[in-house]
């Protein structure tokens, strides 16, 4: 099974055009990977939904369908775009490691103003964990050559 093409569109606003090109580049990168037909069918349904959108609803549809495709690729095939895990783990590190460390610093020093010290530590931990997972995905050949912005 082959991935459908996006319907050509002209006269889009510059920011919508950028989203459209990014979505199209994502589809080109996905096409390079060997995927099961069931997954390709799901992706084609999402592409057909984007092709059916009007210009007014296109920006939101591009964003939601792109996010859905990336989520399905990650869950089903473990394929991710560049920096996927880094962007996922940065806020997780701040929340799971940074805030508890900050509270511990604040309680130990007797001044809760030091609570903010934990956030950059958690951010560093999150970036380190996410970058490690991104490198692992790259070496295993599970990374798409595109960064989602």
**Cα 123 to chain center, whole Å?**
18
> Cα separation of 26 and 28, whole Å?
5
Q: 54 Cβ partners below 8 Å, 6+ apart?
A: none
User: Which tokens belong to 23?
Assistant: 């979505």
User: Which tokens belong to 136?
Assistant: 């692992």
> Cα separation of 86 and 78, whole Å?
15
pLDDT band at residue 124 under the 50/70/90 scheme: very high
> Where do we find the tokens 């007014």?
56
Residue 9, pLDDT > 90, answer: no
pLDDT band at residue 78 under the 50/70/90 scheme: very high
Q: Judge whether 26 and 67 are in contact, CB under 8 Å.
A: no
What's the rounded mean pLDDT across residues 45-74?
93
b/e per residue 91-105 (b: at least 16 CB within 10 A):
ebbbeebbeebbeeb
């Amino acid at each position: 099974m082959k991935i459908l093409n996006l319907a050509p569109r002209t006269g889009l606003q510059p920011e919508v055009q950028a989203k459209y090109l990014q979505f199209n580049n994502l589809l080109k990168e996905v096409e390079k990977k060997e995927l099961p037909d069931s997954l390709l069918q799901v992706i084609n349904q999402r592409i057909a939904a984007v092709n059916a959108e009007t210009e007014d609803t296109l920006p939101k549809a591009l964003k939601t369908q792109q996010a859905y495709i990336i989520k399905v690729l990650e869950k089903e095939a473990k394929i991710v775009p560049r920096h996927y895990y880094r962007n996922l783990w940065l806020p997780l590190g701040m929340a799971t490691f940074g805030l508890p460390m900050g509270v511990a610093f604040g309680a130990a020093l007797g001044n809760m103003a030091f609570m903010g010290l934990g956030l950059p530590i958690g951010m560093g931990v999150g970036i380190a964990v996410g970058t490690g997972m991104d490198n692992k995905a790259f070496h295993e050949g599970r990374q798409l050559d595109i960064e989602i912005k």
